[in-house]
Amino acid sequence: MADIGQLQERLGHRFGCPELLTEALTHRSVLHENSAARSGAPKPVVDNQRLEFFGDAVLQLALTEVVFARFPRADEGHLTKLRARLANRHMLFHLAHQLALGDYLILGKGEETSGGRQRPSNLADAFESVVGALYLDGGYEVTRRFLLSLYADQLDRLESADSGDNPKGELQELLQVMSSKNPIYRVVNETGPDHNKRFEIVVEFEGRELGRGAGSSKKEAEMRAAETALATLNAAPPSVEPPAADESLPQI
């Protein structure tokens, strides 16, 4: 594992209780392997799942506060969408990668050998856990300053984007977190006479179908497909990945 002091520098906080940060970085596979040990008393280990739960709430509060302040004319529905774009699992994976959290994860041997150090779900979970640990050790203001700094570019993009309902733009912005490639919209079905056409369109990204939609115009069908893709991506893990031995991940 990399030097934990470097991570504390990235977080902008020196932990008074470094055990909290260690807990935030400990994957449940460590606990599972210790519990399964056949000889001797297993060493007690606390994994990061409780801190992940706590950190999620802290993150939601901080992001709610910032979008509420930066978008004074936005209604509740739009504020909810803005917050979701900042807190979805893809974004958390991106931010964890930016902090190089994978270098600091404490993993069981099986998880280590199966690529767990770069597994997107592990990194997204660890990011929330670290936020929770930062709050418990340094308080809300320390955590808030860290998040504002880390999210600075993302917040600027939100403010410069069209404030109207633009699911295609939102989808492209979300996917740009992971890749420079653009989504592809493709007509898969066209029915009805020329004066009353009905189109069905799928949106694909890197060879995968993310969503589909229908409408009386290609533009409407593309918007519906983008809305479906956004709903799927915001509810799913950051990417399709091979599950660890002790977990099963839904496929997008």
Shortest CA distance to 32 belongs to which of 101, 109, 104? 109
Judge whether 156 counts as a catalytic residue. no
Paired tokens of 104: 């600091």
DSSP structure string for 48-75: SHHHHHHHHHHHHHHHHHHHHHH-TT--
Active-site option among 56, 111, 125, 227:
56
Active-site option among 47, 128, 170, 222:
128
Helical spans, DSSP H, in the chain:
4-11, 18-24, 28-35, 49-70, 76-87, 89-98, 109-113, 120-138, 140-150, 152-160, 167-176, 218-235
Distance from the Cα of residue 180 to its chain's centroid: 17
CA 39 – CA 41 distance, rounded (Å): 7
Judge whether 76 counts as a catalytic residue. no
HSE of 139, CA atoms in CB hemisphere, 13 A: 2
HSE of 127, CA atoms in CB hemisphere, 13 A: 26
Strands laid side by side in the 184-191 sheet: 184-191, 198-205, 208-215
Paired tokens of 89: 């699992």
Name the CA radius of gyration of the chain, rounded.
Answer: 21
Catalytic residues: 56, 128
